[in-house]
Amino acid sequence: MTIVTFWNNNTGKIGQTHSALAIAAHMAVEHNYKILLMSTKYNDQVTMKAFGFDQITKTVNLLTNNKNTMDLESGIEGMSKLALSNRLTADMVPNYTRMIFKKRLEVLAGPQDREDEKIDYKKIYDSCKTIANIARQYYDIVFVDLNNGLDEEATKAILKISNIVIVNVEQKPSEFTEMVKLRSDLDFLNQKNTMFLINRYDRSSKYSTKNVTRDLMEKKEILSVPYNHLFAEAMQEGTAAEFFLNPKIRKLDDTEDRTAFFISELKRAEEAIIYKMQELQMRI
């Protein structure tokens, strides 16, 4: 149904993958949507490590001593071959994903380095538009963690088919003004389908979501995903999914608590996405 793409125009690492992963995983726990989290990034170790995929791969390598085992090949590579030959169908997609929460969240990690074979990443990336378009027929929401910048035509193609674009920014005034200008220059980044999100948000900064929203004259408060050390540690330990199932985490309601604030901002982002989805459906 809906393609929600996380993208930024920054040249460095600003925490976009952390934000996309946190929102997708928490939303899967709290809402009844069938979600696919799809990474297009080459050798994306953040997603692999966050869900423990890197350890699974090492274990299979050890037990089979066969680096060409299909389980070790990134699912997106297999899907790419089918997509490029026009043989990929919606019901095939789950065969190439990894299940996190049954009927709630599946993950399609980006193509990974392999010692024995050089992959054609450009060909895989060029097929991502087709993969996302077909996947939307099977899932309620396809979250795409997209490559940054606008140099690649494949990046523009995915942004153009996205129902919602989450424009990720750092907590810097120069970032905000640059992205507003970019949005006015590009027809596929218009005010109706884009939302700004501050990564690694610090609520003690004077560049708060409310202040920035006012300065940019946005109609609705821009989104944020605060930095949270407990979630960052969970991602490093491969327990990002389990983090949101922890009863202690789910019961937090004191917004002065940093983790409670982290969760409350995730909820605010999810509600904004759901509202935008409903708004788009009403236009159809």
Its pTM stands at: 0.91
CA distance 262 to 194: 22
What pLDDT sits at residue 141?
98
Show contacts of 179-185: CB within 8 Å, 24+ apart. 179/9, 180/216, 182/9
pLDDT-derived band at 64 (thresholds 50, 70, 90) equals: very low
User: Does pLDDT of 240 surpass 80?
Assistant: yes
Asked if residues 256 and 203 have their Cβ atoms less than 8 Å apart, the reply is no
User: Does pLDDT of 217 surpass 90?
Assistant: no
CA distance 41 to 4: 16
CB atoms within 10 A of CB 120: 11
Q: What percent of the chain has pLDDT over 70?
A: 91
Closest CA to 147 of 122, 164, 171: 122
pLDDT-derived band at 72 (thresholds 50, 70, 90) equals: very low
Arithmetic mean of pLDDT, 173-177: 88
Name 165's bridge partners: 5, 194
Asked if residues 274 and 31 have their Cβ atoms less than 8 Å apart, the reply is yes
Q: What percent of the chain has pLDDT over 90?
A: 70
Q: Which secondary-structure segment (H or E) carries 225? A: strand 223-226
Strand 105-108 with 98-101, pairing: antiparallel
Mention every residue, 6+ apart, whose C-beta is less than 8 A from residue 185: none
The average confidence (pLDDT) of the chain is: 89
User: Does pLDDT of 203 surpass 60?
Assistant: yes
Asked if residues 172 and 197 have their Cβ atoms less than 8 Å apart, the reply is no
Write the DSSP assignment of 174-206 as a string of letters.
Answer: HHHHHHHHHHHH-TTS-TTTEEEEEEEE-TTSS
What pLDDT sits at residue 70?
41
